[in-house]
């Protein structure tokens, strides 16, 4: 009971104590809460949304101030230095050449022109994947991918040409690849529409559009224009902006017109090529000059050279040998010796010269002739081409006088023709011996170019008054007064002697005769020196120089065939070439012939005469260039007589079928029958012809029109 009461009593006595103890703790918490409310009450009164906006504004103001400060620093402090760096990277002063001038023939036919092309380049530091680049571009450009990879991946250069002047299809394919670091640049490519026609004369330009040979090189200052330095802007990839500033434009070269006639050039090239092939010669060439004006109408050389593919051609082929090769002229040099002797009154046409029966021993020097002649008048010394007679005439003249006349004729110096020509070899008088003057009198011991020979003959045919050859046509040409080398009577006397060389039956140039017109000329068969043996060898230079009409020269033609093997005489090898060129020139130009004969188109020494009927020779001016496909075409077996150019053929009895053929081939086929058709329309192929193909040639020529209609197909 006690215990029970005691526990109960304790329970009742402890409760008030606990209640008393909890009161101070509750009071303490209440006091703390009251104190907190007093301490943070101000924060509850703050507008935090407005504060946050102000803080953002402050941050942006600080950033804005920083940017302006940075901009001020870059503009004012670093500006000049950075501007200079940018100018060096994006602006450059470049030498701009622009498009080359065009070259035309005398009738406006385009012989050379420049067209836009694209070249592929690379900036190796910008290429991301060289392997992908090589595998993509290699097949497009025709380059081995491994080589392309090696060339670009291992280079330290910032700019590399991959392929220059590609065609449009390739350029478009490269552009579509869109490879970083690969770009296209605009350049100009030179194109020669007539391919090999006058190739050695025209020359060619290199990859950088600079003339390297021929007219392209000698007239570089004009055709290539004067380079101008311009400020060029480029983008970040280095590509050029083609934006011209005011007063600044892309320069362009001046056009050039030559005196060459493409029709006559074609005639001469075909004749020369045939002779070189027939006699298995090393090379051949010919020059045709219009005597009254001194203009070079044709200048041909075989083997042909196509400037479009100059990289695949040997320098021996594109070398202009008629101007650059100095050779001993042989007997074609003799008319100048005769003219000098007559001018100095040492001889006249009737002066008797002893030709010693064909062999003359003079001191340690023996001179031989091809024929055994005794005493001859000076006129026949030239007709029979006697070396002995010419040597004696040379001794009469003397060294100082002889040298003076040769110098006046242009030997030993370059001509005025704008080509890379040789001076030849003409030694000063004190170096001449007696042997030298004798050998020079018949074309040895002196070296001249074909161009120099043409210049000297032009002076002789111009009644002895020096007249410079011209190859370019200038609107502002002013007639110049030149010195007289021979008197008119002397020149006419020598021309009469040269007429006998061809027209007389005992002359050496009788194979050069042309029906219907009198021709004058001189043959030449020059020995060529063997430099290894130190003496003359067995090789020869066959040549012929002639003009027509003989009494009033209109055309001068010089033919050279070097080292023919099947026959070596100029009267056999070169004279027939002259005959072919002269007769076909008469046909194309419609030159006036004698009343008793009609000029015919000759095809070579063995050609059969054409029909005696006269056909109208009407030559229309051409609007378009001839087609220049030089591949041989084979005519049907039933029409063997009318093969395409390059074959020895005679005209058939019927009008040829020229439908679909090129202009050049069509005109040539008609010309073989003595007809030059009129050309109508514009194009390079024949689409219609009159008379109809296969019909018999009309007999009444003055009532028939020969017309070819042209079109591009």
DSSP string, 369-427: -SS---EEEHHHHHHTT-HHHHHHHHHHH-HHHHHHHHHHHTTTS--SSSS-----B--
Burial degree of 473 (CB within 10 A; 0-12, 13-18, 19+): middle
- Burial of residue 468 (CB within 10 Å: 0-12, 13-18, 19+) is middle
Residues 6 or more apart whose CB falls under 8 angstroms from that of 331 comprise 385, 387, 442, 443, 508, 522, 523, 524, 525, 526, 570
Q: What does the alpha-carbon distance between residue 43 and residue 39 come to, in Å, rounded to a whole number?
A: 9
Q: What helix, strand, coil percent values describe the chain, rounded to 5?
A: 40, 20, 40
- Check if the beta carbon of residue 579 is closer than 8 Å to that of residue 275: no
Judge whether 238 and 90 are in contact, CB under 8 Å: no
- What residues are annotated to the active site? 331
Q: What are the helix (H) ranges across 73-98? A: 79-90
Of 372, 374, 354, 352, nearest to 362 (Cα)? Answer: 354
Which three-class secondary structure state does DSSP give residue 323? helix
Q: Which residues contact 224 (CB under 8 A, 6 or more apart)?
A: 97, 100, 101, 209, 210, 211, 253
Euclidean distance between CA atoms 689 and 657, whole angstroms: 8
Rg of the chain over all Cα atoms, to the nearest angstrom: 45
Give kind and range of the element (H or E) at residue 20. Answer: helix 2-39
Nearest to 677 by CA among 615, 628, 591, 626: 615
In angstroms, the Cα distances linking 251 to 215, 228, 245 are 20, 7, 13
Crossing angle for the helix pair 387-397 and 434-441, nearest 10 degrees?
Answer: 130
Is residue 300 within 8 A of residue 323, CB to CB? The reply is no
CB atoms within 10 A of CB 464: 20
């Amino acid at each position: 009971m006690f215990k029970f009461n005691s526990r109960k009593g304790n329970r009742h006595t402890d409760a008030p104590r606990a209640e008393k103890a909890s009161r101070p703790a509750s009071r303490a918490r209440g006091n703390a809460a009251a104190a907190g409310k007093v301490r943070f009450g101000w924060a509850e009164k703050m507008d935090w949304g407005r504060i946050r906006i102000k803080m953002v504004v402050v941050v942006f103001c600080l950033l804005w101030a920083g940017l302006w400060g940075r901009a001020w620093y870059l503009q004012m402090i670093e500006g000049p230095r950075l501007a200079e760096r940018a100018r060096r990277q994006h602006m450059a002063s470049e030498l701009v050449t622009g498009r080359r001038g065009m070259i035309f023939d005398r009738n406006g036919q385009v012989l050379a022109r420049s067209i836009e092309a694209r070249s592929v380049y690379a900036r190796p530091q910008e290429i991301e994947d060289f392997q992908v680049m090589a595998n993509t571009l290699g097949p497009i450009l025709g380059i081995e991918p491994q080589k392309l990879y090696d060339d670009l991946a291992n280079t330290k250069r910032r700019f590399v040409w991959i392929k220059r002047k590609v065609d449009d299809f390739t350029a478009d394919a490269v552009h579509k690849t869109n490879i970083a670091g690969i770009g296209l640049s605009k350049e100009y490519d030179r194109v020669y529409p007539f391919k090999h026609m006058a190739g050695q004369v025209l020359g060619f330009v290199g990859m950088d559009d600079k003339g390297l040979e021929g007219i392209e090189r000698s007239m570089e200052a004009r055709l290539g224009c004067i380079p101008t330095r311009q400020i060029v802007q480029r983008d970040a990839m280095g590509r050029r902006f083609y934006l011209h500033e005011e007063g600044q434009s892309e320069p362009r070269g001046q056009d050039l017109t030559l005196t060459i006639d493409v029709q006559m050039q074609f005639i001469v090239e075909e004749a020369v090529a045939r002779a070189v092939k027939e006699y298995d010669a090393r090379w051949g060439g010919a020059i045709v000059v219009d005597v009254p004006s001194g203009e070079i109408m044709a200048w041909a050389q075989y083997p042909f050279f196509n400037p479009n593919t100059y990289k695949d051609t040997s320098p021996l082929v594109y070398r202009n040998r008629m101007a650059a090769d100095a050779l001993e002229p042989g007997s074609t040099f003799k008319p100048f010796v005769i003219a000098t002797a007559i001018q100095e009154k040492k001889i006249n046409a009737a002066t008797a010269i002893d030709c010693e029966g064909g062999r003359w021993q003079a001191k340690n020097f023996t001179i031989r002739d091809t024929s055994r002649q005794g005493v001859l008048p000076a006129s026949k010394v030239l007709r029979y081409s006697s070396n002995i007679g010419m040597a004696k005439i040379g001794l009469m003249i003397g060294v100082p006088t002889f040298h003076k006349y040769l110098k006046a004729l242009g030997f030993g110096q370059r001509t005025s023709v704008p080509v890379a020509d040789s001076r030849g070899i003409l030694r000063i008088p004190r170096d001449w011996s007696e042997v030298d003057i004798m050998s020079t009198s018949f074309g040895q011991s002196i070296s001249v170019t074909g161009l120099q020979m043409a210049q000297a003959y032009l002076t002789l045919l111009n009644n002895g008054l020096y007249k410079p050859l011209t190859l370019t046509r200038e609107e502002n040409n002013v007639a110049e007064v030149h010195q007289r080398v021979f008197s008119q009577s002397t020149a006419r006397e020598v021309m009469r002697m040269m007429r006998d060389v061809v027209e007389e039956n005992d002359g050496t140039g009788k194979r050069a005769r042309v029906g219907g017109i009198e021709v004058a000329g001189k043959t030449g068969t020059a020995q060529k020196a063997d430099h290894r043996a130190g003496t003359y060898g067995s090789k020869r230079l066959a040549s012929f120089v002639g003009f027509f009409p003989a009494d009033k020269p209109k055309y001068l033609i010089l033919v050279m065939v070097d080292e023919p093997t099947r026959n070596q005489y100029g009267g056999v090898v070169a004279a027939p070439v002259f005959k072919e060129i002269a007769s076909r020139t008469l046909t194309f130009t419609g030159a006036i012939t004698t009343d008793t004969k009609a000029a015919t188109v000759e095809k070579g020494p063995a050609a059969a005469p054409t029909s005696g009927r006269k056909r109208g020779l009407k030559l229309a001016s051409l609007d378009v260039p001839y087609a220049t496909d030089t591949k041989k075409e084979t005519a049907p077996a039933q029409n063997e007589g009318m093969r395409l150019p390059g074959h020895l053929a005679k005209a058939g009895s019927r009008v040829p079928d020229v439908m679909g053929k090129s202009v050049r081939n069509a005109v040539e086929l008609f010309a073989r029958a003595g007809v030059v058709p009129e050309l109508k329309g514009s194009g390079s192929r024949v689409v219609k012809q009159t008379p109809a193909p296969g019909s018999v040639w009309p007999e009444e020529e003055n009532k028939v029109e020969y017309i070819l209609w042209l079109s591009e197909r």
